[in-house]
Amino acid sequence: MTWQIASGSNSERYSVYTGLIRQGEADHRQLRLIRLQNGMQVLLIHDVNSPTSAVDLCLSVGSLQDPVRYCSGLAHFCEHMVHEGEEYINSDKYPAGRIGRDKASTIFRETNYESTIDHYALEDKIQRFASFLSRPVFLKNVIFEQVLCVHSEFQNYLLDDGRRISDLDTYLSKSGDPWSAFDVGNWETLTAASMVPPSHGKIDDSAEWIDPLRSKLQEWYSKYYCANRMHLVIIGSHPIDELTSMATKYFSPVTAGTVGPQASATTFDSPWSADEEGTVVLVKTVKELREIEVRWIMPSQTLLYRVKPLDYLTRFLHHQGEGSLYRILHDRGWIDGLSASRFVGDRERGFETYYVAIMVTESGWHAWESVVAALHKYISLVRDTVVKDPEFARAVQQELCSLSELYFRFRETLKPGAEANLLSTNLAKRIPPADLLIGPYVTEAWDAPLVSATLAMLTPCKSRVTLKGRESLKNVELRGTRVASDGAAWSQTPWFKTEHMVLRYAESNWPTYSSDDATAEGLHLSGPNPYVPKDFTVVGGKKDGVEPILAPRKIVETSLAKLWYKLDDRFGESKGSVTFDIKSGDLEDTPRGELFDLILAKLLNDYISEDVGSAAQCFLKCAFYCQSGRLFVTISGFSDKIPVLLGVLIHKVVNFVVTPDSLQLAQDYVRRKLQNGFLASPVDLAEGTLSYLLAEDATASVAEKLDEMDAVNVSTIQNRLSNIIQQVSILGLVHGNFTEKFARNMLQLVQEALRCGNPTSTASEAISTRNYLLPEGCNFADENSALAWVCQIGEKTSAPLRARLILFAAIATSPICDQLRYREALRYTCNIQLVGSTTIAFCVSIQSSTHSPAYLEQRLEACLIEQVRQRLPEMQEHEFERTFKLPRARRLRPQLANVHREANMFWKCISAQDTEFNHDEILAQSIESLKPADVLQFFDEYIDPRSNIRRKLSVHLRSARHAPPVTPSVDMQAFRPTLFPNNTLSKDVPLTQTNV
């Protein structure tokens, strides 16, 4: 490792890494890695093509440093204080510097702060954040607000199965192990340090608990928030020397600290003892999951990145072809999904987790022991190849090496925030600087003894099997004995109250396959992947002095099809994207039709999963679905194998035959998925109701679809598919590394496979769903605890109106966030949502466990008047232009990063029959022409509760706590005419949706 001390003042002196940081062939960014005098590592990235700047700090401190005896959740609470506290330094009530997107997270050994901001505000953001790190304030009123916010977050997780099971998994560690601690925190654990219980079970800002908590927080912060555990990444368009100057100037004052940098593990210290290994855990879930998870605690693989031993096994577990574990169990009707992955652990103790998740059917649930036995049989088969067939094993590893090198060679960088987050985490993992970018992606070596030794640890007696379900757990048997019947003894976790039961197999009694089992004999390992790309010839590419063409052109237009085409003349990559929308004009949207499409989509996706899975391993992305009587397929990635995959998929779909067994599995899957929809979060349910009320052709409700289950049989589903692929119209886009002749050939391939006949309607006659226009002056509330609130603005064909809405939302989001989420501790989302196809609206969703929907709406409307409306007349022209207007206009003129994103942009226009392709530019020009007075006038007319022409609709979803004694049921179909007495529809003038 080569470091050289750079010149500078004593207080801002730093060292710079002078070695090579390996980058991909398509990565033209300028990188510099420095280490400040206080020990902080900083990776600086100059990227002229980045649409925004990003700052990400990864701190090697997390919930495992909590003082668990009296203040669980302190690390999480500190993250909230830092994330919000920096806004109080040298700021007005609503600082102009608060733009872009901020988020933070705390896990076991890491706390992460991510911020995406506009380029001009980068230095301001860095200064503010660094100021809080070096001079934390911890104001008392902020402490009160953030305790409420942490508690609200905890309450939000109580019915989240992922969080509940994660908490259970750590809780079931060996006695006294730090891994078993409660990491989220709530008002009870955070106030425990004061020894002063909140009065009447409630928190108030005058309580005596604030000062003790503040003292404990300051003590903990001073100990752990030290520079030598901080890893910073800054991405911006600024010159690299300017980025260096910002980092050294503002982050050098951060205290080095006394605990020292995170230690690298020298031993394997597992959170499980022998008592936790070899167990079976039954856990009651909120939703009916029906999942088997097999988990092992493994030595940390972080620094084994050149070999990646577990990837060798994962490659086979993800294979879905003949002889694979998935195919054998799926064909027996036992499973409908399987995945495997490494999971976060503790680098200081040298362990991480490897798990296999298996989604089982009803019959698979009864045969869970055989499913687990098959998994171990397959792992043993993979492990044996390393020793018994070294040439085959080496060939498999060579394929992994080639594919990973190919991916990194042509890797497309993530969005700035996500890219900075990934790299700061790599810094924290202590990956050598030369391999900082390449290490997590590329497999470069083969080490048979290492792979063999790693896989040898994946034995039944070292695993934990978790069975996740609800009612289905009653049928679980262990060695022929039902263990979870009525009257069984269940335990609960302390905080999430997750009901569970821990059982144990004797080591000699773990279920195994006998040598004469037909299923075991069917298992074998796959050969070479047929979708590995070979030809990287570029047929287009950017030419010097020639500006790229801004839009595709229509090369086919008949009564049967429309095909759009554009050769890549911007990126010069051997990649492309193909999209086909195949629609029958004879099928109407009914609850029965929607149900049939859901079942058909499941059947077809299962049928093509082998090819889609193999293609995904070669970085071919494929999306396929059946909806509203149409088939949709899009494939993107290396252009070499796209035609091959497209031909295989279309051929399989056309020749698919429904069988009774496959239909039963698909029907059960869809029924369970629909029933779980009743258990969605309150906000999701409220927003779904809102969309249903406004859409002309609303999706059928869950209950309506479930009522049609009796109509499902082999004949009805087969007929549905036949009707879809007959008399179709095709709308397509071929974009990227393809010639025009090749594009026409792909359309011909699809048409010949479908044996296209004369459609009843042409592709150009397809009409997108329209929205109902709310009457002026309406103020409806459907009270069925969450609030979904919408102010409908009008037709989205009006660029001036959309421009005003975009700027208003940008200005209003921060005050609404500050007031309702942080100061009043209400969970919230606030976003622009183009409801349906043809209208624009300003939507706010709020969820609360402490207040009724009526109260939430009252506070929202008061906030609009007291916070947003009062701010608008006071806004200076320079603040309006620099902070809101110019950044939003720039985002409508993005620097396209790759072929796939450009194709997505084109397809949004084509699918909406908006083929002008320049509406974003028109909208950007409209935004640039606006003044603060225009936004004020917009508010007064469309948003202000006192306006006579405001169109507002809200949905109140009441929890049991806030519901009246009898909650009347509402017939939504009957209720809609009261909303729209004149049946007023928006104009059928489609326009592409823009996310700003």
Strands (E), 508-665: 553-557, 561-567, 575-584, 621-627, 630-638
- Asked whether the predicted pLDDT for residue 729 surpasses 60, the reply is yes
- Asked whether the predicted pLDDT for residue 410 surpasses 60, the reply is yes
- What tens digit of pLDDT does each residue of 36-49 get? 999 999 999 999 98
- What tens digit of pLDDT does each residue of 231-253 get? 999 999 999 999 999 999 999 99
Please give the single-letter amino acid code of residue 377: K
Q: Which residues, 6 or more positions from 191, have their beta carbon under 8 angstroms from its beta carbon?
A: 147, 197, 198, 203, 207, 209, 213
Give SS3 for 451: helix
Quick one: what percent of the chain has pLDDT higher than 90?
48
pLDDT of residue 506: 63
Q: Give the global pTM.
A: 0.87
**Eight-state DSSP code of residue 413:** P
Highest mean pLDDT, choosing among 265-269, 742-746, 957-961: 742-746
Dist. CA 41–CA 59, nearest whole Å:
11
Dist. CA 853–CA 847, nearest whole Å:
8
Closest CA to 412 of 857, 71, 736, 890: 736
Dist. CA 563–CA 580, nearest whole Å:
9
- What tens digit of pLDDT does each residue of 536-573 get? 999 877 777 788 888 999 999 998 899 999 999 988 88
Quick one: what percent of the chain has pLDDT higher than 70?
85
Q: Which residues, 6 or more positions from 162, have their beta carbon under 8 angstroms from its beta carbon?
A: none
- Asked whether the predicted pLDDT for residue 518 surpasses 50, the reply is no
Strands (E), 703-751: 728-736
| 285-299, 540-554, 691-705, 906-920: the lowest-pLDDT one | 691-705
pLDDT of residue 904: 86
DSSP assignment of 125-162:
HHHHHHHHHHS----HHHHHHHHHHHHHHHHHHTT-HH
**Per-residue pLDDT averaged across 287-295, rounded?**
93
Please say whether the beta carbons of 40 and 228 come within 8 A.
yes
Q: Which residues, 6 or more positions from 353, have their beta carbon under 8 angstroms from its beta carbon?
A: 295, 296, 297, 298, 342, 343, 344, 345
Report the DSSP beta bridge partners of residue 562. 557, 731
Please say whether the beta carbons of 327 and 392 come within 8 A.
no
Closest CA to 24 of 572, 306, 411: 411
**Per-residue pLDDT averaged across 987-995, rounded?**
33
Both tokens assigned to 364: 């698979």
Dist. CA 170–CA 123, nearest whole Å:
40
Dist. CA 500–CA 166, nearest whole Å:
13
Residue 398: pLDDT band with limits 50, 70, 90: very high
- What tens digit of pLDDT does each residue of 200-233 get? 455 665 567 888 899 899 999 999 999 999 999 9
Dist. CA 263–CA 757, nearest whole Å:
69
**Per-residue pLDDT averaged across 418-428, rounded?**
94
- What tens digit of pLDDT does each residue of 251-283 get? 999 998 777 777 676 789 999 999 999 999 999
- Asked whether the predicted pLDDT for residue 160 surpasses 80, the reply is yes
Both tokens assigned to 171: 């809780």
Give SS3 for 229: helix
**Per-residue pLDDT averaged across 342-346, rounded?**
87
Helices and strands in the chain: count of H runs, count of E runs? 32, 28
